[in-house]
């Protein structure tokens, strides 16, 4: 796997995520098996794999939700094992299970999470107005999140996750279950965030989405089997599209999806 670690870019940009031989075991089951990779600032990094390949477990370790069994990892310059609270100050997270407060209004959710990251009332007010305008959510300001359509919820969840301009934002299957138009709009938001210098770490099922990433890693049975730009991967695997690349790799899997 060592040979997969080379970087395309020649300049020395800041490494936002550095992972070295990361392992997570649950009893005898090794969910994540000696994972190593790096992600640079401003990159959109696609984290692909079949169900049960260990994507979510790996991501949870990077976010400080789960302690690694072995290995080292740094996110935004902080150790994920010993400085997880520092890590948390510098990341945003959006889980596959939609997780804003359903019983709070749109502006109240924004206010809560902004407040948690230490913004003051005035900043929150200003930025909330700006955000609602950008998302064209002005009318929904006072709507309970519960009653928003799924696409809107997800856009909102993403915006809340990057409201405090973190170094990295982790997105766990952010576009699950939404229509293609909304997915496109969602990716526009991701590009905007990346332009602002926010690194995006995203897991997805949709192979067309993989094409939008700067670099893509494909996990099979807890290991990274391929890591490169979509273009290079397609060339290397002599494939028409990312889906074919993925199918070739996924066939090797011995672990069954849960």
129 DSSP assignment: H
Interface with other proteins, residue 199, by CB under 8 A:
no
Binds other proteins by CB under 8 A, chosen from 15, 79, 98, 229? 98
Using the minimum distance from each CB to other proteins, give the nearer residue, 114 or 245.
Answer: 114
Interface with other proteins, residue 23, by CB under 8 A:
no
Using the minimum distance from each CB to other proteins, give the nearer residue, 84 or 214.
Answer: 84
Using the minimum distance from each CB to other proteins, give the nearer residue, 115 or 149.
Answer: 115
Of the candidates 204, 253, 213, the one whose C-alpha atom is nearest the C-alpha of residue 232 is 213
User: Cβ of residue 142: shortest distance to other proteins, in angstroms?
Assistant: 12
User: Cβ of residue 147: shortest distance to other proteins, in angstroms?
Assistant: 12
Interface with other proteins, residue 174, by CB under 8 A:
no
Tokens 């992972």 correspond to what residue? 19
- Residues whose CB falls within 8 Å of the CB of residue 62, separated by 6 or more in sequence, listed in order: 17, 19, 73, 75, 80, 170, 201
As given in the structure block, the two tokens for residue 71 are 């290995």
**Number of other CB atoms surrounding residue 53 within 10 Å:** 27
Interface with other proteins, residue 103, by CB under 8 A:
yes
Burial of 118 (0-12, 13-18, 19+ CB in 10 A): exposed
Interface with other proteins, residue 106, by CB under 8 A:
no
Question: Are the beta carbons of 207 and 246 closer than 8 angstroms?
Answer: yes
Separation between Cα atoms, residue 248 and residue 238, nearest integer Å? 10
Using the minimum distance from each CB to other proteins, give the nearer residue, 24 or 215.
Answer: 24
Interface with other proteins, residue 153, by CB under 8 A:
no
Q: Which residues does residue 138 pair with via DSSP β-bridges, in sequence order?
A: none
Interface with other proteins, residue 79, by CB under 8 A:
no
3-state secondary structure of 230: helix
How many residues bind to other proteins according to rule CB under 8 A? 32
Binds other proteins by CB under 8 A, chosen from 102, 134, 147, 235? 102
Interface with other proteins, residue 39, by CB under 8 A:
no
Interaction site with other proteins (CB under 8 A) = 63-67, 84-86, 88-89, 91, 93, 95, 97-104, 108, 111-118, 144, 170
């Amino acid at each position: 796997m060592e040979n997969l670690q080379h970087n395309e870019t020649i300049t020395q940009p800041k490494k936002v995520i550095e992972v070295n031989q990361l392992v997570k075991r649950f009893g005898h089951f090794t969910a994540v098996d000696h994972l190593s990779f790096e992600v640079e600032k401003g990159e959109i990094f696609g984290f692909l794999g079949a169900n049960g390949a260990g994507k979510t477990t790996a991501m949870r370790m990077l976010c400080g939700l789960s302690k690694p069994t072995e290995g080292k990892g740094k996110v935004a310059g902080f150790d994920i094992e010993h400085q997880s609270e520092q890590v948390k100050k510098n990341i945003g997270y959006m889980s596959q299970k939609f997780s804003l407060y359903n019983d709070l209004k749109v502006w109240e959710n924004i206010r809560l999470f902004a407040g948690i990251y230490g913004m003051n009332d005035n900043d929150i007010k200003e930025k909330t107005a700006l955000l609602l305008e950008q998302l064209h959510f002005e009318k929904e300001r006072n709507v309970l999140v519960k009653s928003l359509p799924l696409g809107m919820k997800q856009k909102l969840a993403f915006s809340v996750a990057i409201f405090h301009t973190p170094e990295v934002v982790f997105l766990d299957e952010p576009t699950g279950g939404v229509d293609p138009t909304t997915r496109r709009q969602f990716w526009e938001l991701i590009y905007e965030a990346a332009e602002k210098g926010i690194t995006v770490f995203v897991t997805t099922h949709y192979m067309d989405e993989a094409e939008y990433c700067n670099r893509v890693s494909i996990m099979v049975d807890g290991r990274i089997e391929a890591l490169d730009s979509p273009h290079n991967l397609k060339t290397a695997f002599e494939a028409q599209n990312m889906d074919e690349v993925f199918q070739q790799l996924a066939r090797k899997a011995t672990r069954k999806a849960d």
